[in-house]
Copies of this chain bind each other. A is one copy, B any other.
Amino acid sequence: MSDTELRNDGRLEDEHQLDADDRLRPEFVDAVLDAVENGDTEEAHRLVEPLHPADIADLFELTPDERRAPLAAAVADLLDGDVFAEMNDYVREQLIDALDARQVADIASELDTDDAVAIIEDMDAEDQREVLRAMEPDDRAAIEEALSYPEESAGRLMQRELIAVPEHWTIGDTIDYLRGHEELTTDFWEVFVVDPAHKPVGTCALSWILRTPRSISMADVMQREQTLIPVDMDQEEVALRFQKYALISAAVVDGSGRLVGMITVDDVVHIIQEEAGEDALLLSGAGEGDINEPVVDSYKARVRWLIANLFTALLASFIISMFETTIERMVALATLMPIVAGVGGNAGTQTLAVTVRALATNQLTQSNTARAIGREIRVALLNGVTVAVVIGVGVSIVFGNPMLGGVIAAAMMTNILVAGLAGVLVPVTLDRFNADPAVASSVFVTMTTDSIGFLAFLGLATASGLVG
């Protein structure tokens, strides 16, 4: 049975929209864009209408910049809040810019606070004011309050729509309340139990409410051990807390402990994915690394690190220049020296990636730092011996010069060991000083492995009397 058939989804009868990996098929995207280009709005609408909001968002991301506005015009009535909430930030900004304040206000009003805030927070101050003016007073107040919290904090991430009930209610009271109030949210997985001061005293999963007789008190069913999120907590910490305690939703409290909002796991999943994925980008100095980012922004983010890398390369260059006489006497050294630096750099990057990951997931703490360093030294010794033997024997044979083989083997061994040490010490030190270990570690580690690589190899070649 094919994957698409399995999707038991009335809206996905056309099995040619998605490939086996849930990506929109290029043929489908082309068909939609061709229809738009040919002015066949009806056909474009017919094709897009059955898509899930997340897939409509993807369609816009896959559409070239200049063709997004015509596409948006063709399927305007399908562009609801859910589509915008699922869309890449850059693509959304571009589309939002093309809409007037009234339209943005309508879209934002459909959404939970957190999604509305995500759309509005990126607009410039003037547009933001205009959109807020066009909204209902209630919605506006909620969004203005959210915007008063720092970016990437729990206050921005939470929704105000939640279910809170007093401790003295029974299960029956809670069910009657939920049945009797049309206006309540349907987007909740747990009910919060609060005291008269609106401070959370317990949490009750919906499955418990459904499995308990009506007469039982909420206080007897709720779980008193709950994980609360301070409203100013950074979203990365929120994500780690959700993950560690396997939370589905959590109450957000203000400075005085009062319940002010709720965060649900589906909002956190994106953050977990982003935060975990950004290590590779940060380590390479690629900034946000979003393929929808404007070219100039990518350039600005990346060139800084290339220039930093250039300056650290100058140090290596200076070290080589100290051995110019040695190289002149034996030019084979110039041929071989990048091997020592390169493999050392790779070994450093390996240790760095492991350490940064362990720090990000709270697996590496002060309690086991010494052990982690010892572990990396042992791995480096094994790697160093292996690579040193291979290159040492190879060079001895190819150049017919065992002394040269010995020198390169010793230099390689030294550099891989230094790489292992730098790969763990640099990020751990940055972390100790509350700097993001993924951000600048690479530059320091590469500088170290390049410099030590050239210094050890050329220095040993000189000191050993290899070069007459």
- Whether the pair A248, B266 counts as a contact (CB closer than 8 A) is yes
A141: min CB distance to chain B, Å: 25
Chain B residues with Cβ below 8 Å from A64 are 368, 371
A299-B382, A310-B391 given; A266·B246 CB < 8 A: yes
**Looking at the complex, which of A100-108, A142-150, A277-285 is the stretch in contact with chain B?**
A277-285
Which of A34-42, A121-129, A130-138, A315-323 lines the interface with chain B? A315-323
Q: Is A387 touching B306 in the complex (CB atoms < 8 A)?
A: yes
CB interface residues, A 195-225, toward B, < 8 Å: 200-201, 205-213, 224-225
Complex CA gap A265/B249 in Å reads 11
Chain B nearest CB from A356 CB (Å) reads: 7
- Quickly give the copy total for this chain: 2
A24-42 contact mask (Cβ, 8 Å, vs B): 1 or 0: 1010011000000000000
Q: Which of A188, A292, A342 has the most chain B CB atoms closer than 10 A to its own CB? A: A342
Please state if A62 and B367 are interface contacts (CB–CB under 8 Å): yes
The interface residues of chain B lying within 8 Å CB-to-CB of A26 are: 365-367
For A355, the chain B residues whose CB sits under 8 A away are: 291
B-side contacts of A295, CB under 8 Å: 375, 378-379, 382
- 409-436 of chain A: CB within 8 A of chain B: 416
Instruction: Please give the distance in Å from A234's CB to the nearest CB on chain B.
Output: 10
A-B residue pairs in contact (CB < 8 Å), sample of 18: A7-B227, A8-B201, A8-B226, A22-B241, A62-B365, A62-B368, A178-B207, A187-B207, A206-B207, A243-B269, A286-B350, A290-B354, A292-B363, A307-B386, A309-B342, A310-B343, A320-B338, A327-B327
Closest 10 CB pairs of A and B: A276-B276, A206-B206, A280-B280, A334-B334, A276-B277, A246-B266, A286-B350, A284-B353, A289-B354, A26-B366
